[in-house]
Amino acid sequence: MDMDLEEGWRLQPLGGDTGKAFMGTKAEKKIFLKQNASPFLAALSVEEITPRLVWTKRMSSGDVVTAQEWLNGRTLSRAEMKSVAVGHLLHRVHHSTLLKEMLHKVGGKVMGPQELLTELVNRLSKTLLGHPLVKKTIELLRNQIDQLDESHYEVCHGDLNHKNWLLSDSGKLYLVDWDSAKFANPALDISMLLCAYVPVSEWRTWLENYSGTKVTGKMAECIIWYSCLDCLNTIQNGYESQRYHMMNKAILLLSEIQNK
């Protein structure tokens, strides 16, 4: 792909779902290049949540290419997602005034519980809509939606897969791939992480490390609501991709959460 780079730069595709990420190399220099990355990457760079932004360039095609410093490191393992460091960085994201201001400027999407629930129900297959536990959970979510504290929203990443967490060789932790960023209740991110990586028996400890305070009844209710929503999304994803092990695992987790 032609990115209108200076002569001598070579591009190597880095894979991924979008096919828009590349490593650029020239002599001993390396940079991370991405086409049409999240427009508030500059704020993420300033907050040191992503690797440093080197430059931004609009190509003749109209696409925008961003270049970030190349850091040697690795993605986190599934087990490492329970770490205190992950919770602390996520807390910084959810409480950054700069990120909030920048996402407002670029027209960040707002997703409240009603929008999220409607979106989910619309994508659930007819087969799953007839499943007793799924049916019961949707009714539960509808009945409890007015009890949620939705007085303010924060910047949420929206895709906390362990492969989006980068640990550099110097020990610095970063959160990358912000294409799904939105304004929402932080419980959206938190529940996504808890459901995927933390045993239910350890949720309270993780939440206290994240927030630095004891878990209140209101906070627990909010986390349960968003966790049930996340399980339903995972069930649908497993059904669509015919990954039935993933689907059944999410069904068991959903049952465990509701019986907690």
Closest CA to 253 of 233, 227, 214: 227
Q: To which residue do tokens 């979008």 refer? A: 18
* Residues 60 and 88 occupy one common structural domain: no
| pLDDT digits 0-9 by tens, 85-132 | 999 999 999 999 999 999 999 999 999 999 999 999 999 999 999 999
Query: In this model, does residue 259 exceed pLDDT 80?
Result: yes
| pLDDT digits 0-9 by tens, 144-180 | 999 897 778 999 999 999 999 999 999 999 999 898 9
Q: CATH number of the domain that 24 lies in? A: 3.30.200
For 223, the token pair is 């986390």
* Residues 160 and 100 occupy one common structural domain: yes
User: Range of 19's domain?
Assistant: 10-74
Element (H, E) at 22: strand 21-26
* Residues 175 and 56 occupy one common structural domain: no
Q: What angle do CA 136, 138, 142 make, to 5 degrees?
A: 115
Closest CA to 95 of 106, 85, 87: 87
DSSP 216: P
For 113, the token pair is 């519980």
| pLDDT digits 0-9 by tens, 14-63 | 765 555 788 888 777 888 888 777 778 889 999 999 999 988 888 777 77
Catalytic residue, from 149, 159, 179, 230: name it.
159
* Residues 146 and 241 occupy one common structural domain: yes
Model's pTM, two decimal places?
0.89
Q: Which of 18, 51, 74 is the last residue of a domain?
A: 74
Q: Provide the phi-psi class of 176: left if phi over 0, else alpha when psi is between -120 and 50, else beta.
A: beta
Indicate whether 25 belongs to any domain.
Answer: yes
- Concerning whether 169 is annotated as a catalytic residue, the answer is no
Q: How far apart are CA 12 and CA 199, in angstroms?
A: 38
Element (H, E) at 219: helix 217-240
* Residues 101 and 69 occupy one common structural domain: no
* Residues 177 and 95 occupy one common structural domain: yes
| pLDDT digits 0-9 by tens, 181-231 | 999 999 999 999 999 999 999 999 999 999 999 999 999 999 999 999 999
Closest CA to 253 of 169, 128, 133: 133
- CB–CB of 97/218 below 8 Å? no
| pLDDT digits 0-9 by tens, 36-50 | 777 788 899 999 999
CA distances, 206 to each of 174, 180, 202, 211, 255 (Å): 19, 24, 6, 9, 21
* Residues 147 and 252 occupy one common structural domain: yes
pLDDT recorded at residue 17: 55
| Mean of per-residue pLDDT scores for the chain | 91
